[in-house]
């Protein structure tokens, strides 16, 4: 559908949040928690903060939770009884996701639907309406414009809000889902104010040409650059877990006595254990091989197999990394290698 422009005052946004809560939706928005900004249930506008470039963690857990129960089981002498949990996914309205976060769901959807359709992910996502917030500032870790993104991009948002300085919002109704929410609360929105959002957006310099870099990286499997870049990497999972596009998961059975449940939980290709075979052989024994995999997965295999880059340039990995592994810097050195 064609994007429709409206306006939304700060006061109306406050009312919208209250009414959404009142109508039983779970509203999730960015909130300050000590030194971090995290996505948490939002009951009033006052709880929401705008002092963030990107939240520490991505909002991917609305559709791909950190832990998700698949089924319960009970073991008897001869049988294992499985019981699928009652799926009670509420309606979720996610407010304050940046354009990079919104674009991240594209990546996840591509991965979760390319073969067997991951119905758990799809059902949760179907119930989520994304009200994005465009960016008036950026930092040294941002590189959305290098990976087909933009601080004011509507891609992936159902409604995109742009704050006019410290004042009211330009609201763009982007998708049918956004229109459905708009229709329900139309009274809170005003007409198109005629404002051009670009003057309220920050400018993120392009650091590398993604198409060229993808092509380059694809031919660099045996290159010594991977060792050079990964010497300081300590092999934790921080980057994968905060990333809006990382979708790797583990499946675990947890039990007490004869009752238990099977869960899906996040996993990271940075862990040594990730590709350890039962035989003891590990095709990615050392960190440089795992680092190479991480980069090529996002910047070679995904473009090749799923026709999109598996990175949205949010910079969270670089901010969360304990050893300053700055991904965009690495991509630039690949481009220049």
Partner 1 sequence: MADFEPKVVAFVCNWCTYAGADLTGTSRIKYAPNVRIIRFPCTGRIDFMLILKAFGNGADGVIISGCHPNDCHYTSGNFHARRRWMVFKRLLDFTGIDHNRIVWSWVSAAEGAKWAQIVNNTVEEVRQLGPYENYHKAALKPLAKEVNHG
Partner 2 sequence: MDDIRKKAKELLESHAVDVVIGYGEGTAGKVRAIFPRKAEDAEKLIFDGRCEQNLAVYLLKHEIKHMGKKAIVATTPVMRSILQVASEYQLTQDEVLVLGVSPEGKYVEIADFAAMEAYLKTQDFGIPAKDKAILDKLEGMTLEGRWDFWLEQLSPCFKCYACRASCPMCYCTRCFVEVNAPQWIPIAANELGNVEWHLLRAMHLAGRCINCGECGRACPLEIPTHLLTFKGVEDVKEDFNVVAGTSASMDSLLSSYKADDKETFIR
Closer CB to partner 1, 27 or 142, in the complex: 27
Closest distance of CB 220 from partner 2, Å:
18
- Residue 260, interface with partner 2 (CB under 8 A)? no
DSSP 166: T
Please name which of 56, 141, 140 lies closest in space to residue 320, comparing C-alpha atoms.
56
Q: Which does 237 bind (CB under 5 to 8 A by kind): partner 2, partner 1, none?
A: partner 2
- Residue 51, interface with partner 2 (CB under 8 A)? no
Please tell me whether residue 112 adopts helix, strand or coil conformation: helix
Instruction: Quote helix, strand, coil % in the chain, to nearest 5.
Output: 35, 20, 40
**Binding-site member from 55, 134, 153, 288 for partner 2 (CB under 8 A):** 288
Please name which of 230, 33, 20 lies closest in space to residue 128, comparing C-alpha atoms.
20
Closer CB to partner 2, 14 or 236, in the complex: 236
- Residue 142, interface with partner 2 (CB under 8 A)? no
**Binding-site member from 3, 44, 66, 126 for partner 2 (CB under 8 A):** 66
Q: What's phi and psi for 70, nearest 5 deg?
A: -95, -45
Dihedral of CA atoms 220, 226, 229, 230 in degrees, nearest 10, equals 150
- Residue 56, interface with partner 2 (CB under 8 A)? yes
Q: Which does 220 bind (CB under 5 to 8 A by kind): partner 2, partner 1, none?
A: none
- Residue 237, interface with partner 2 (CB under 8 A)? yes
Q: Which does 241 bind (CB under 5 to 8 A by kind): partner 2, partner 1, none?
A: partner 2
Gap between the Cα atoms of 138 and 150, Å rounded: 11
Radius of gyration of the chain (CA): 21
Closest distance of CB 180 from partner 1, Å:
19
Where in the chain does DSSP place strands (E)?
Answer: 4-8, 26-33, 36-41, 67-75, 80-83, 92-97, 128-133, 159-163, 169-173, 189-190, 249-256, 259-266
Contact set with partner 2 (CB under 8 A): 34-36, 38, 56-57, 66-67, 139-141, 227, 230-232, 234-238, 240-242, 250, 252, 254, 263, 265-268, 271, 273, 285-288, 318, 320-324, 326, 329
């Amino acid at each position: 559908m064609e994007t429709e422009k409206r306006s939304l005052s700060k006061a109306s946004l406050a009312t919208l949040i209250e009414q959404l809560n009142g109508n039983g939706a779970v509203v999730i928005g960015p909130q300050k928690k000590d030194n971090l900004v995290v996505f948490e249930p939002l009951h009033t506008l006052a709880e929401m903060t705008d002092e963030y470039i990107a939240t520490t963690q991505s909002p991917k857990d609305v559709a791909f939770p950190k832990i998700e129960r698949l089924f319960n089981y009970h073991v008897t002498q001869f049988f294992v009884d499985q019981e699928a949990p009652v799926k009670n996914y509420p309606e979720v309205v996610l407010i304050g996701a940046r354009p990079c976060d919104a674009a991240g769901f594209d990546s996840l959807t591509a991965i979760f639907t390319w073969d067997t359709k991951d119905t758990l992910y799809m059902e949760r996502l179907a119930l989520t309406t994304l009200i994005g917030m465009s960016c008036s500032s950026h930092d040294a870790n941002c590189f959305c414009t290098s990976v087909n993104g933009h601080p004011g991009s509507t891609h992936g948002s159902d409604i995109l809000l742009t704050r006019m300085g410290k004042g009211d919002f330009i609201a763009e109704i982007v998708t049918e889902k956004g229109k459905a929410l708009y229709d329900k609360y139309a009274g809170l929105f005003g007409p198109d104010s005629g404002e051009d959002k670009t003057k309220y957006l920050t400018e993120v310099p392009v650091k590398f040409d993604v198409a060229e870099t993808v092509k380059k990286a694809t031919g660099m499997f045996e290159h010594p650059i991977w060792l050079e870049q990964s010497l300081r990497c300590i092999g934790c999972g921080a980057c994968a877990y905060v990333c809006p596009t990382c979708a790797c998961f583990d499946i675990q059975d947890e039990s007490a006595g004869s009752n238990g449940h099977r869960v899906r939980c996040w996993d990271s290709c940075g862990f040594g254990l990730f590709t350890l075979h039962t035989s003891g052989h590990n095709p990615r024994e050392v960190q440089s091989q795992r680092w190479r995999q991480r980069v090529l997965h996002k910047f070679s295999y995904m473009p090749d197999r799923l026709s999109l880059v598996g990175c949205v340039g949010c910079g969270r990995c670089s901010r969360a990394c304990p050893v300053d592994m700055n991904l965009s810097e690495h991509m630039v050195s690949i481009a220049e290698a």
